[in-house]
A and B are shown apart, each in its own frame.
Chain A
């Protein structure tokens, strides 16, 4: 489904360059849930953003469903429509109601009629448990509700893959659960997911595979049981000791 080969992302800085992502190769199969963890600045978010083209990468290939993002002929908008993204800061459109947030891209990108888009939107809002807020503006919603709307907005495009970039990091602690529940439900339904998170409980419970990144590199890959109970690498051990 996703095939990343030797992806390198270079940021220019004053004293030369920073290799934010330094030769990452990951394969994600259909229906697989991959959780990426690591200390801040380890390049995990940058890598995730490369997968739907929000960041250009300097070297390597990312192939999504057979389409290579490194290929200049690739229409990135088509790829993005198939890859849903959920952001740390929700990024809902504040000038549109919850319902309009869900229908805008359906109408513009998928060319759905208003009625069809709204039906799909209502269905998804029911799924994430906030159908009664359809006509509210995002500013009237709590953080947890906003993030669930953001998930529904991404799902409205019928994506093949969902990317989550620290979806619970900006939330008050009591709202983390409701968002994770929605994500767990998605995972159970067989959605292909890549999740950057600090929620170790979620990783342990839901992930098929855990990828530990540090300094732009993949340091360790394994099943959750294996990774959390018996990590091989020193840096992974140190990190787990700090967060658990």
Chain B
């Protein structure tokens, strides 16, 4: 009976609340007389720029071929030849003219990615690299955490407790200003390093819980077949544990994408820092932060969809 309950009133209520919230925000913004300038934003994704095309050597313009508004200028000198494509209306040379190295032949129009896209790319690669290292650190620390050896276990506990007990922001500062100075590391290495160690500590706890959730009988069965500890862990325990820890693991990596915004404090131009830089030149504060938020949301939603798909794939043995 329950499944046939009419959910429409509740869906309607949800829609009313969401629309009401949006309208309320809109009304509040309208009250403070904010000038929306969405038209200034697209250029920070992609823009067209004119680039001067220069001849790399002294020579003579041997031919100019015009088509579709473009002009292909061929510069030749002895056996050297170079073809430069420029827009026809920016052409600055004529045929058979002598030109010298560094002379501008004309301008070419090109599409370029704006700072928001570069910022997004930086955020993505920093998150990806940190995830991979974080997974490795977490796996090693998680296995160390369930080790029978007191020292190994103690080291893992110290690592996890230290990282989880201090703010990520402080860790990034320590990584950059202390370790970075002492070992002469670049800001990217420090940023990725700090994020990897941070996420590794959380992954370690998830891995530990996952391993401990697999029944002892599995280990006993594998060992009774003569498999070594390592084979048992690798072929029997970890695959089963991985399936169980996939949801919390995904949550941790989604958090990592968001936490990576903190590396902007050591002047890594990620998505957040790009947004801040754009605001200083456009004053389009509201627009840019809304866009930055939406871009983070897109990336994290894609990741959770991917994990959802993987979970379903792994569910075949249930």
Contact = CB atoms under 8 A, between A and B. Distances in A.
B89 to A, nearest CB: 66
Contact of B220 (A54, A97, A105, A138): A54
Interface residues of B, number: 21
Nearest to B238: A95
A27 B266 CA distance: 72
B227 A105 contact: yes
B140 to A, nearest CB: 22
A80, A95, A150, A157 pick with most chain B CB within 10 angstroms = A95
Contacts of A154: 224-225
A145 interface: no
Contacts of B239: 95
B226 interface: yes
B226 A91 contact: no
A139 B224 contact: no
Nearest to B240: A95
6 contacts: A54-B223, A77-B223, A93-B218, A95-B317, A109-B226, A154-B224
A83 B224 CA distance: 8
A153 B225 CA distance: 8
B317 A109 contact: no
B220 A81 contact: no
A78 B224 CA distance: 10
Interface residues of A, number: 31
A104 B235 contact: yes
B222 interface: yes
Contacts of B165: none
Contacts of B227: 77, 104-105, 108-109
Contacts of B215: 89, 91
Contacts of A94: 240, 317
Given A93-B218, A139-B317, A78 B226 contact: yes
B226 A87 contact: no
Contacts of B217: 87, 89, 91
Interface string B240-281: 100100000000000000000000000000000000000000
A178 B224 CA distance: 23
B213 interface: no
A212 to B, nearest CB: 25
A77 B226 contact: yes
Nearest to B234: A108
Interface in A109-166: 109, 137-139, 150, 153-154, 157
A91 B243 contact: no
Interface string A18-59: 000000000000000000000000000000000011100000
A240 to B, nearest CB: 31
Given A78-B226, A91-B221, A105-B226, 10 more contacts: A77-B223, A80-B224, A84-B225, A85-B220, A91-B218, A93-B218, A93-B236, A95-B243, A109-B227, A137-B316
A78 B215 CA distance: 24
Interface string B42-78: 0000000000000000000000000000000000000
Nearest to B226: A81
Contacts of A138: 317
B231 interface: yes
Contacts of B226: 77-78, 80-82, 105, 109, 157
B228 interface: yes
B318 interface: yes
A7 interface: no
A54 B224 CA distance: 7
B254 to A, nearest CB: 25
A218 interface: no
Contacts of B236: 93, 104
